Structure 1
Amino acid sequence: MALEEEIRAVEEEISRTKYNKATEGHIGRLKAKLARLREEVQKRASSKSGGEGFSVKKSGDASVVLVGFPSVGKSTLLNSLTGTESAVAAYEFTTLDVVPGAMEYKGATIQILDVPGIVKGAASGRGRGKEVLAVIRNADLALILLDVFQLVHHDVLIGELNDAGIRVNSRPPDVTIRKKPRGGVSINSTVDMGLDEDTIKTVLGEYRIHNANVVIRENINIDQLIDVILGNRKYIPAVVVINKIDLADKYTLKECRERFPDALLISADKKVHIEELKELIYNKLGFIRIYLKPQGKSADMEEPLIIRDGSTIGDVCDRLHRDFRNRFRYAQIWGTSAKHEGQRAGLDHMLYDHDILTIILRR
């Protein structure tokens, strides 16, 4: 049986099986098998395409990838956000490669990537899907662009991303699995589990894990358990943007707002709400501003260094010069992250918005 046929057979069996405690272990085994088969399909698609994806060098302070079906308006949006001339036409598959652009906003340089449109079956390699999904995996933010008249595409896009191991607007489950040479599977949990131990052991067994210590610190489902076992899932933030509102009537717009209350409605062609979109992208990326202060001098409060929330002094050293980390002696911090003004800190110190930073290097 071909892999695609085997996948369909497993999917059909899952859909036919009513979920309850009695069938939980069986469904868990089927879902684990399904995930394993999809991994095999993706590996074959990658080998046929000759690699993992388009060659795209990340630049700027963060990268955003435009995700959507063909002809949803990604190229027009790229032009509106950055001024980059990406080919625009009224037919599908205009963009056949990755077109990068740079958006300057509030001192940050944000790379915007226009990739070929995703089609159903992209996770299996259809329509250069493998290459496109590889670019998405490496981005800092996915902008899911929908046609105002094709809202149904949202579920298809999320499905393709999920099948490719990309999880949007979620985080890795707080679960640890440590394999051991013998002793069977031991399960410890700090919360009331939704899954019973037999189901967990069944899913682990599908991946030939028969000896392991499992620690569960949050209530998870079968799919999340499989994600932890595979260990290759990519978790990225995403925003939903609905395009072409200039062509829609008030009833269509009302439906958009009801179905996607958190989405931003725009017209890339007419440049409606483009500034609001820039602000949304900036905020979603979680930028903070750090002011550099040369030793013995005043801080430069006019041009802050833009970095991502959660960055450390070591990350700043890497941004400033490739040799700074090796020559680092200590840093001084003024601001919210400091316990006192001018606190000495090391490379692992996490910085907060509006901190003032002095880096002292060995000569």
Structure 2
Amino acid sequence: MGILEKIGDIEREIARTQKNKATEHHLGLLKAKLAKFRAELLEPKSAGGAKGEGFDVMKSGDARVVMIGFPSVGKSTLLNKVTKTQSEAGAYEFTTLTCIPGKIDYNGAEIQLLDLPGIIEGAAQGKGRGRQVIAVARTADLILMMLDATKSRKQRTLLEAELEAVGLRINTRKPNIYFKIKKGGGISYNKTCNLTHLNERLVAQILQSYKIFNAEILIREDCTVDQFIDVVLGNRKYVKCLYCYNKVDEISLEEVDRLAHEPNTVVVSCEQNLNLDYLIEQIWYHLNLLRVYTKKRGEFPDFSDGLIMRNGATVEHVCHSIHRSLVENFKYALVWGTSTKHDPQRVGLAHTVDTEDVVQIVSK
């Protein structure tokens, strides 16, 4: 029996098993097996055979946004509208056959936008060019899920399932679990809260299914079996996703209003140029970027060329963005802006900067 057949059998058994306290243990072990087979499917052990053509596009700019969606939802049209790149768009499916990069210039940042071929159901198992598409999606700072507002809500559910199957966890954070494989000593299991989905016996059996017999585990929150398996596998990618419903000019205002009020969602019409500016604003917001300016002693700040940083960046990150050697010779920094109690404030490397702050580095 091949891996696909084994995956199918486990999925059918999970579907027909009633979910209650009595079956929770059995379902947990089934999910562990399912995750193991999916990992084998996506990363075959065989080293032989010719490699297929991939979509290896060099990462550039301050952030990467990857558009995924089914064929003919408007990905190429959007790329043409918001960047200077021309991606072939047509009224038929599979117009785009490879990865086409574009660049959005916004708030002084260069945001790389990738137009990928439309994926089909079963992409996680390699149907169509699904594996290549999803492999690129794993490199994204933000996934822009393009959806057709005139079609059923099932399209979103199917795309989320495809991403889930290849270890992409969208709009969620990594579980608060400490896990480390050891060379000996057996399984050391501890928890700091009440668990409703896991217990020590189930944890040990899940680890045994992955041939892990010596490990240290500390569970700090009430997590599910799936979340624990994600931590054990260690290859999950946690990424933000912005849902973009296109073709809203073809549906009722009531439906537009309903879609627009869903979390992490923007409604647009690429053909009619409706709401595209707001979409770019939301891409910036979901990328969690900020802009910081620098100044030299005795000079005015250069407001024409800011540094693009992630929210939560510190003065140390600012130093690294300017030049690596600055940290070694760092004495202190003067900061003007909303992150300070007074202007200027003398701070150290650990000071967290805010957007539009001005930073002056003083070296030894």
TM norm structure 1: 0.91
Which residue is equivalent to 1:222?
225
Shift of 1:257: 5.1
Tell me which of 285, 289, 292 is aligned to 2:291: 289
Q: Percent identity?
A: 42
Distance 1:108 1:182 in 2: 49
| Structure 2 counterpart SS, 1:144 | strand
Tell me which of 172, 189, 192 is aligned to 2:191: 189
User: What is the CA deviation profile of residues 5-61 of structure 1, one whole-angstrom value per residue up to 9, with x for unaligned ones?
Assistant: 011111111112212222222111110110010011111399767279421111122
Distance 2:80 2:31 in 1: 42
User: What is the CA deviation profile of residues 208-241 of structure 1, one whole-angstrom value per residue up to 9, with x for unaligned ones?
Assistant: 2222221011110010000000000011111111
Shift of 1:124: 1.6
User: What is the CA deviation profile of residues 138-196 of structure 1, one whole-angstrom value per residue up to 9, with x for unaligned ones?
Assistant: 11111111011223110111011011111110111010112233333222112211222
Aligned length: 359
Which residue is equivalent to 1:198?
201
Are residue 35 (structure 1) and residue 28 (structure 2) matched? no
Shift of 1:255: 5.9
| Structure 1 counterpart SS, 2:76 | helix
| Structure 1 counterpart SS, 2:29 | helix
Are residue 71 (structure 1) and residue 72 (structure 2) matched? yes
Shift of 1:331: 4.3
Structure 1, unaligned stretches of length 5 or more? none
Distance 1:178 1:30, change over 3 A: same
Which residue is equivalent to 1:7?
7
| Structure 1 counterpart SS, 2:355 | coil
Equivalent residue letter for 2:57: V
Distance 1:244 1:232, change over 3 A: same
Which residue is equivalent to 1:306?
308
Q: In 2, are the aligned partners of 1:286 and 1:309 still within 8 Å (CA)?
A: yes
Distance 1:155 1:46, change over 3 A: farther
Aligned CA-pair RMSD: 2.4
Which residue is equivalent to 1:80?
81
1:1-363 pair list within 5 angstroms: 1-44=1-44, 50=51, 53-150=54-151, 151-194=153-196, 195-250=198-253, 252-253=255-256, 256=259, 260=262, 262-321=264-323, 323-324=324-325, 328-334=329-335, 335-337=337-339, 341-346=344-349, 349-360=351-362
Shift of 1:106: 2.0
User: What is the CA deviation profile of residues 271-292 of structure 1, one whole-angstrom value per residue up to 9, with x for unaligned ones?
Assistant: 1010111111111111212110
Structure 2, unaligned stretches of length 5 or more? none
Bigger shift: residues 15-24 or 352-361: 352-361
Which contiguous aligned blocks of 4+ residues in structure 1 show a shift greater than 6 angstroms? Answer: 45-49
Q: In 1, are the aligned partners of 2:334 and 2:361 still within 8 Å (CA)?
A: no
Distance 1:282 1:27, change over 3 A: same
Bigger shift: residues 273-282 or 190-199: 190-199
Distance 2:97 2:147 in 1: 19
Q: In 2, are the aligned partners of 1:25 and 1:202 still within 8 Å (CA)?
A: no
Q: In 2, are the aligned partners of 1:52 and 1:134 still within 8 Å (CA)?
A: no
| Structure 1 counterpart SS, 2:11 | helix
Distance 2:326 2:194 in 1: 44
